[in-house]
Amino acid sequence: MSIGGVAIVAACVALFAFGNFLTVRWANGDRITAPQADDTRPGIVALRMLWWFALVAAVGCTTGVLIIGAGGRLAMRVLAATSGDAVQGAETEAREIVGDITLGGTLGFVLFVGLLGGAFCALLYAVVQRWLPRSPLRGLMFGALLLVLLGTRIEPLRTNNEDFDIVGPPW
């Protein structure tokens, strides 16, 4: 692996670790309060809705970049590293090369998959969170629900994912 590749992986490790630190640090969410929740004037209600939208967008984009983007890039690196020498240099479904770690590929993944995926998941969470059980594991339950409902149909675990034929795992 090149020096640039090592730097990219190290940056992804740092971002992913920072994202997990923030998750543990702010797990109870007690530090977040909506502005003037008891005021029903239309302007204040609109302001409160805008505040909630901004909060969901900020959390979703941050989570997307730190966890989905950096974590997903690390998972891709682990799969490439553990798949053996025979597949190094093979072309993936996305026309990327197995084993190559490029800044452009990493930024593309982090921004398009991470940022957009995080924003989508945060908006979906904002809609369904009222029906999830109150628990410290609420976020994990939501993530498991997404993995079961979407992960097997969209990405990464869809049955026709050609990349798993290349890098594994065989299951």
pLDDT for position 101 = 80
Least confident of 70-74, 100-104, 108-112, 151-155: 151-155
- State the pTM of this model: 0.73
What is the predicted pLDDT for the residue at 141?
86
What is the model's pLDDT at position 157?
64
Domain encompassing residue 94 = 3-167
Which pLDDT band, with edges at 50, 70 and 90, does 96 fall under?
confident
Say how many domains are in the chain: 1
Report the alpha-carbon distance of residue 102 to residue 118 in Å, rounded: 22
Average pLDDT over residues 41-47: 82
Distances (CA, A) of 78 to 98, 110, 114, 161: 11, 16, 18, 17
CA separation for the pair 79, 169 (Å, rounded): 8
Mean pLDDT of 10-31: 79
